Structure 1
Amino acid sequence: MGKLTLYGIDGSPPVRSVLLTLNALGLPFEYKVINLFGGDHLKPEFLKMNPLHTVPTLDDDGFYLYDSHAINAYLVAKYGKDGKESLYPKDLQQRAIVDQRLHYDSSVFGSTARAITFPLIRENQTEIAQAKIDALSGVYETLNLFLKSTDYLAGNNLTIADFSVIAVLSGMVVFLEVDARKFPNLAGWVQRIKKLPYYEEANGSKVTQFTDFLKSKNFTIV
């Protein structure tokens, strides 16, 4: 295989989802942290790889790909072996369920999370409307439903859908904890994901950069 290089920042949920996938596949890779505030993503050499100047960006020996969902699916399709193919199943019906969960993550969960975090990060607002937290609770309820009869979000096998969702959820608990009494299936799933041998390195130790930053905003829910 060629050289894999991932460009990103620790605070980004999509970047952390790719780190989870790379680690789950046991792939050797180089992780290059991009200084967004310093404009690294706007330099010509980065724009050549990704004209949208976003992270994560993957360089697979000269093949460039961006968007975490696309990257994760590509990595499993190309490098998944020895049972790891199940992270993005080849069976069309099983894969369709994974895709549905990924679309839910990128649209509903992602938009709900951004509605809360972007005003804090980009506009320095410190008040969060209760309605936004209620919407987040609604997402938790849906995720809890997805897990009603399975161990993981898209069935009884771990998939890239789990990586995408945990990367977002692990940051959102700053605003709303996963109450095991209200969301028992979701709470159990979180604990299963946290027990993965590579979880702490790929997500747990890195999400604190994001959560500490959010807490520093001293926000209030009104």
Structure 2
Amino acid sequence: MGVKLYAMDFSPPSRACMMACEIFGVPFEKIPVNLFNNEHLTPEFLEKNPLHTIPVLEDGDLILYDSHAILAYLADTYAKDESWYPKDVKKRALVSQKLFFNVAIIFRRLRIISYYVIQKGRKTLEQDWLDDIVEAYGFLEAFLSKTKYIAADHITIADLAILSFLTTLEYILPVDAKKYPKTSAWLEDFKAKPYAKKYNEEGAKILFNYINDHLTS
């Protein structure tokens, strides 16, 4: 049967969900939603998601928005084992903690830049924004100094969520491999994975180019 995923390739949360579908073997119909043409504001789309954000997942009669909720649902429903989002309460809490970190820290860093540059017409990147990105890299380095991956010694959905944002942030401000060796190694490892090349690589470039075009135009 498969699921429907309303998405755009440049959207980091959309990319995370497409990677999860690939990993978990979930056939999906990608339904493009062109934000620039306000397709997310149509009555039909607002009926599915009053927050008018992407991605949106439809699985039968279930409609989910927010990529972190979608990632958790896909892992619980379709993953062949529970390692991606463990059933053990304490292990799951550690993954959830890093998902919330992504919302509060990583997402916010990129969202501020895209909002002010694309929507508000800023032509320069504020030093505070760049400093915030550096701070986020430091947080990730601390996490990866304790576990092999973001939330555990194995890959979880938290890695996918953060990867989708970090691959655009690194275009804006490259990760210093000398200062953040574990973060740099983690990022390079994930960028080489087949599912990341298929569903994340090009979209990350598209978003950066779109931001950069607004800075230089």
Is the shorter-chain TM-score for this pair beyond 0.5, marking a shared fold? yes
Q: How far 1:120 sits from its partner (Å)?
A: 0.3
Q: Aligned partners of 2:188 and 2:109: how far apart in 1?
A: 23
Specify every segment of 5 or more residues in structure 2 that has no aligned partner in the other structure, as ranges.
none
Specify every segment of 5 or more residues in structure 1 that has no aligned partner in the other structure, as ranges.
none
Q: Aligned partners of 1:116 and 1:43: how far apart in 2?
A: 26
Equivalent runs, 1:1-222 vs 2, <5 Å: 2-81=1-80, 83=81, 85-218=82-215
Q: How far 1:65 sits from its partner (Å)?
A: 0.5
Q: Aligned partners of 1:105 and 1:207: how far apart in 2?
A: 17
Q: Aligned partners of 2:148 and 2:179: how far apart in 1?
A: 17
Q: How far 1:80 sits from its partner (Å)?
A: 1.5
Bigger mean CA offset, 178-187 vs 189-198 = 189-198
- 1:109-140 deviation line (CA, Å, top 9, x unaligned): 22222222210011111122212211110000
Q: How far 1:195 sits from its partner (Å)?
A: 2.6
Q: How far 1:42 sits from its partner (Å)?
A: 1.9
Root-mean-square deviation (CA, aligned residues, Å) is: 1.3
- 1:115-169 deviation line (CA, Å, top 9, x unaligned): 2221001111112221221111000000011000322101111111001111111
Higher helix share: 2
Q: Aligned partners of 1:3 and 1:28: how far apart in 2?
A: 4
TM-score norm. by structure 2 comes to 0.95
Specify the SS of the correspondent of 1:173.
helix
Q: Aligned partners of 2:215 and 2:44: how far apart in 1?
A: 37
Q: How many residues matched? A: 216
Specify the SS of the correspondent of 2:10.
coil
Q: Aligned partners of 2:51 and 2:105: how far apart in 1?
A: 22
Q: Name the % identity.
A: 37
Q: How far 1:93 sits from its partner (Å)?
A: 1.1
Specify the SS of the correspondent of 1:52.
coil
TM-score norm. by structure 1 comes to 0.93
Q: How far 1:174 sits from its partner (Å)?
A: 2.3
Aligned partner letter, 2:78: Y
Q: Is contact 1:105–1:164 with CA below 8 Å preserved after alignment?
A: yes
Q: Aligned partners of 2:32 and 2:8: how far apart in 1?
A: 5
Q: Is contact 1:25–1:79 with CA below 8 Å preserved after alignment?
A: yes
- 1:25-46 deviation line (CA, Å, top 9, x unaligned): 1111111111122222122222
Q: Aligned partners of 2:83 and 2:106: how far apart in 1?
A: 24
Q: Is contact 1:174–1:215 with CA below 8 Å preserved after alignment?
A: no
Specify the SS of the correspondent of 2:5.
strand
Q: How far 1:21 sits from its partner (Å)?
A: 0.9
Aligned partner letter, 1:212: N
